[in-house]
Structure 1
Amino acid sequence: MRGDGRRDWSDHYWWSLDGVRLHARVYAGPADAADAPPILCLPGLARNARDFEQLAPHLAQYRRVVAVEFRGRGESAYAKDPMTYVPLTYVQDVIALLDDLKVDRFATVGTSLGGLVSMLLAATQPGRLVGAVLNDVGPELELAGLERIRDYIGSGGSQPTWIHAARAVSELNGAVYPGYEIHDWLRLTKRTHRLTAEGRIVTDYDKQIAAPLRVPNGGDAGIDLWPAYRALDGIPLLVLRGELSDILARGAAEKMAAELPRARLAEVPGVGHAPTMDEAEAVAAIDGWLAELPAT
């Protein structure tokens, strides 16, 4: 939001193949970059477009940016069938968005789930992806981190005030962001929670997004994602890793960087899964990646 109260972005709504109304924030970008492939910002499992409220305007200095809200998050409608809360459905939803916007080629910045969707887009839409940032995710995921996420996703109640909610978020995520102060927790909480009509603070997603994780082996990295990762070959690729991550091990990140010639690895100090990409180290690495993207 600008100081004069005008938004930096506009709302865009589109429909999924199964009739779910979906939402994204569109940052127009400069007029002289109208022909440049836009950047799609794809959030993590329980997150929404507000995750990119600082990064997206920064990127939009150079080209159009579309911050996507997956079904069941933010202003996107909840799915009737909770078993559609899976990566392949999100891929279909993003392809429907690209068709709606008449976008052929694009880049992605994907956090966690968003990074998995990026890899699957590369594998299923050959030639369309021109660059990618994988934020604390890859083809090898740590089971301990997956279990931690499965334990809390879809649980929790409401809080009476933003301060109460921020304290609850800090208790849950203290090990992820050990250097955070209360103002940092408030910023994070306002990105991930919403105010209900009854005046309570709740998480801003459909709790049924956890349903696929509850089935046997749900959410486990049981399939080989390396072919999808290798589909990113030949394009500018940034692998971001939180120094304290329990999802993307350092060894796995180093293997990813070694696997593809154009992959670069950057580690964000003092944070776990996942960096917010507001960190100076993350922004610097993303700027380097941005400079490698094709202009048309």
Structure 2
Amino acid sequence: MDRNGIVEHFICVRDGLTVFAAEYPAAGPQTGRDPLLPVICLPGLSRNSRDFHRFAQAISTDQAKPRRVIAIDYRGRGRSDWDPDPCRYQLSVEAGDVLEICSTLDIDAALFVGTSRGGLILHLLPGMAPDLSRGNILNDIGPVIEIDGLLAIARYLNNEGRYPSWRAAATALKMLHGPAFPALEAADWDEMALSLYRQADGVILPDFDPALVAPLLELSAATPLADLWPLFERLRDRPLMVIRGETSTLLSQETVDAMAGRHPALQSLTVAGQGHAPLLHLPGVIAPIKAFLSTLD
């Protein structure tokens, strides 16, 4: 356990790679006869467990219902091994890693939060482990992905730089993403830099395997994307919340409306002043999430 009370797990998965998961134990005694369902956090394409640090703290120390929280680094990100075969950087493999982590940590039922790519993994899990997810939160992702937003992600990930200081990294993030995130303050950009980058040999650099970006560079505006609506149908029988950034270019309001039409109990939240993908621990976001989670035990 580190000085912040986080339990660090390094788990060897089926093909020999080691993947990392950060566990935030529930603070205080659990109420009721059975423990509350844990929350498992799945990050975006190039992001990692640190993206959920403030969120996990808020959920694990909630005064009313503190929950165990697990935040995962997929292979090739954060503190997990880079895969020597980049072809294995795909959703089905990463979903399999999530299942192995859950098995190792004795989790047979949980609530899930999936940001961007993490939400796509949540579309796969019901077909792989039907009883595992008891409720899902999709953070700025849905069964229709806007190609313009995906191409924008490819461009900025391909042009990720190296910075001489953490301040320079935070400044670069604000220059790139600031127009889509007017709600963020200076401290938020500093925290984002700490979650997205690592320091090596005195340089601040992206904390992911650059091979992750290669498939995105093959996309164009004419590239047909997969039809994910059949997978979304598998989410209809369990509680679902979708969060959309007000300025998101990846998830449209039209898609959210269509999701609500197919999942009548869907809860949706549009986050003002944020784009792709909203920070979940900020005021106006964390409270509705807590309220949603509180109904799922």
Matched, 1:100 2:82: no
Please say if residues 140 and 221 of structure 1, whose CA atoms lie closer than 8 Å, have aligned partners that are also in contact: no
Please say if residues 193 and 201 of structure 1, whose CA atoms lie closer than 8 Å, have aligned partners that are also in contact: yes
- Separation (CA, whole Å) in 2 of partners of 1:221 and 1:105: 35
- Separation (CA, whole Å) in 1 of partners of 2:195 and 2:94: 21
Please say if residues 26 and 64 of structure 1, whose CA atoms lie closer than 8 Å, have aligned partners that are also in contact: yes
Matched, 1:272 2:275: yes
Residue of 278, 287, 292 corresponding to 1:289: 292
Stretch deviating more after TM superposition (128-137 or 151-160):
151-160
Residue matched to 1:32: 30
Matched, 1:11 2:8: yes
Residue of 219, 230, 234 corresponding to 2:233: 230
Matched, 1:201 2:199: no
Residue matched to 1:68: 72
- Separation (CA, whole Å) in 2 of partners of 1:238 and 1:210: 29
Cα–Cα, structure 1 residues 261 and 110, in superposed 2: closer, same or farther, change >3 Å? same
When the two structures are aligned, how many residues end up with a matched partner?
A: 289
- Separation (CA, whole Å) in 2 of partners of 1:181 and 1:53: 17
- Separation (CA, whole Å) in 2 of partners of 1:185 and 1:101: 32
Q: Compute the displacement of 1:25 (Å).
A: 0.3
Matches within 5 A, 1:137-152: 137-152=141-156
Residue matched to 1:90: 94
Residue matched to 2:20: 23
Residue of 178, 193, 196 corresponding to 1:192: 196
What SS is found at the alignment partner of 1:241?
Answer: strand
Cα–Cα, structure 1 residues 80 and 165, in superposed 2: closer, same or farther, change >3 Å? same
- Separation (CA, whole Å) in 2 of partners of 1:20 and 1:154: 25
Residue of 162, 166, 170 corresponding to 1:166: 170
Stretch deviating more after TM superposition (34-43 or 281-290):
34-43
Root-mean-square deviation (Å): 2.0
What SS is found at the alignment partner of 2:159?
Answer: coil
2:78 partner letter? G
Please say if residues 126 and 133 of structure 2, whose CA atoms lie closer than 8 Å, have aligned partners that are also in contact: yes
Residue matched to 2:186: 182
Q: Compute the displacement of 1:279 (Å).
A: 2.2
1:226 partner letter? W
What SS is found at the alignment partner of 2:285?
Answer: helix
2:199 partner letter? L
Q: Compute the displacement of 1:75 (Å).
A: 0.6
- Separation (CA, whole Å) in 2 of partners of 1:120 and 1:98: 15
Stretch deviating more after TM superposition (132-141 or 276-285):
276-285
Q: Compute the displacement of 1:216 (Å).
A: 5.6
Cα–Cα, structure 1 residues 232 and 18, in superposed 2: closer, same or farther, change >3 Å? same
Q: Compute the displacement of 1:102 (Å).
A: 2.0
Residue of 206, 211, 216 corresponding to 1:213: 216
* TM-score using structure 1 length: 0.92
Please say if residues 234 and 261 of structure 1, whose CA atoms lie closer than 8 Å, have aligned partners that are also in contact: no
Cα–Cα, structure 1 residues 147 and 259, in superposed 2: closer, same or farther, change >3 Å? same
- Alignment gaps of 5+ in structure 1: none
Please say if residues 154 and 209 of structure 1, whose CA atoms lie closer than 8 Å, have aligned partners that are also in contact: no
Residue matched to 1:157: 161
* Amino-acid identity (%): 35
- Separation (CA, whole Å) in 2 of partners of 1:119 and 1:292: 21
* TM-score using structure 2 length: 0.91
Please say if residues 183 and 272 of structure 2, whose CA atoms lie closer than 8 Å, have aligned partners that are also in contact: no
Residue matched to 2:120: 116
Cα–Cα, structure 1 residues 235 and 221, in superposed 2: closer, same or farther, change >3 Å? farther
Deviations 1:131-159 (A, max 9, x none): 01000000011111011011122432311
1:263 partner letter? L
- Separation (CA, whole Å) in 2 of partners of 1:277 and 1:37: 19
Q: Compute the displacement of 1:17 (Å).
A: 1.7
Please say if residues 85 and 212 of structure 1, whose CA atoms lie closer than 8 Å, have aligned partners that are also in contact: no
